[in-house]
Amino acid sequence: KGSQGRMESFFKPM
Amino acid sequence: MLELRLVQGSLLKKVIEAIKDLVTDANFDCSATGLSLQAMDSSHVALVALLLRSEGFEHYRCDRNISMGMNLNNMSKMLKCAGNDDIITIKGDDGGDTITFMFESPNQDKISDFEMKLMDIDSEHLGIPEAEYHAIVKMPSSEFSRICKDLSSIGDTVVISVTKEGVKFTTRGDIGTANIVCRQNKTIDKPDEATIIEMNEPVSLTFALRYLNSFTKATSLSESVTISLSSDLPVVIEYKIADMGYIRFYLAPKIED
């Protein structure tokens, strides 16, 4: 079914 | 010194109810711009961004930028004590370890104040760049809520695909499959009931329905919802908060193995 992505894979900490 | 007076106190009640199941603790950041919040769920799969602009408050005083850590469940307990028609004022002192919520009934015959303990929260703030989305769908928020609820009784995930035909929601489970297609529908008098699809290129992404269902707790804040999709970004589900700002939910897609 695919694995669940996480926010940090898309947006970098400021 | 912080003093924010919100005539339509029910908005704050609704905002907290919309996010409290997704996020346990969050820092509320107060600046001259307004009251904002960014927080992730415990598994870092979803993120919520809230903005209530200063202009939306009847009175807005924030002498310097402050960040106030709050437990949303506790905040919800206190705000539930406010009537739906009450005016809510948030008061705080610089460096204080509590915040006060004052509730005034519309005819001023009942005034309550609730003092809540603040907490230190270590939260990482993510930078969310402006992005060009492959497709943006605006639809009635109640319709989106209905679709997420209906599909979650059949499957755990939904594929959201936008083509020139419309936006398609597909799920699959042990009992079978379901497809719901919503076509563009601008030809009605009420703009809130329209479905508008702006597509730069076709896009198809898979999401966990559990999170989308949690986001729909914000449905009562806005008649319509905007879904922004790009193949390489989390989906953004935005509910506008009348004259004040927005609540945006970001959800990371499922990634093909």
Whether the predicted pLDDT of B119 surpasses 70: yes
Q: Distance of alpha carbon B238 from its chain centroid, rounded? A: 7
**Chain B residues closer than 8 Å to A13 by CB:** 124-127
Report the 10 Å Cβ neighbour count for B183.
10
The mean pLDDT value for B59-88 works out to 96
- Window 1-14 of A, Cβ < 8 Å to B: 1-14
Q: Where are the alpha helices (DSSP H) in chain B?
A: 10-19, 72-79, 141-152, 209-215
Q: How many residues does chain A have?
A: 14
Q: Given pLDDT bands bounded at 50, 70 and 90, which one contains residue B123?
A: confident
Average predicted confidence (pLDDT) for chain A: 90
Report the 10 Å Cβ neighbour count for B113.
12
Report the 10 Å Cβ neighbour count for B58.
11
Which residue, among B126, B158, B171, would best test binding to A if mutated, counting the most A CBs under 10 Å from its CB? Answer: B126
Q: Which residue has the tokens 């903005």?
A: B51
Identity of the amino acid at B211 = Y
Report the alpha-carbon distance of residue B171 to residue B176 in Å, rounded. 9
ipTM over 0.85: yes
> B105-114, long-range: CB within 8 Å, 24+ apart, which pairs?
B112/B81, B112/B82, B114/B78, B114/B81
Between chains, do B43 and A6 touch, taking CB under 8 Å as contact? yes
**Chain B residues closer than 8 Å to A9 by CB:** 252
**Chain A residues closer than 8 Å to B44 by CB:** 6-8
Say whether B14 sits in a helix, a strand or coil.
helix
Say whether B57 sits in a helix, a strand or coil.
coil
Angle between helices B10-19 and B72-79 (to 10 degrees): 150
Between chains, do B252 and A3 touch, taking CB under 8 Å as contact? no
Q: What is the pLDDT of residue A1?
A: 60
Among B18, B4, B80, B86, residue whose Cα is nearest residue B247: B18
Q: What is the per-residue pLDDT across B30-43, written as a single tens digit (0 to 9) for each?
A: 999 999 999 999 99
Say whether B204 sits in a helix, a strand or coil.
strand
Q: What is the per-residue pLDDT across B185-239, written as a single tens digit (0 to 9) for each?
A: 987 788 888 999 999 999 999 999 999 999 999 999 999 999 999 998 999 999 9
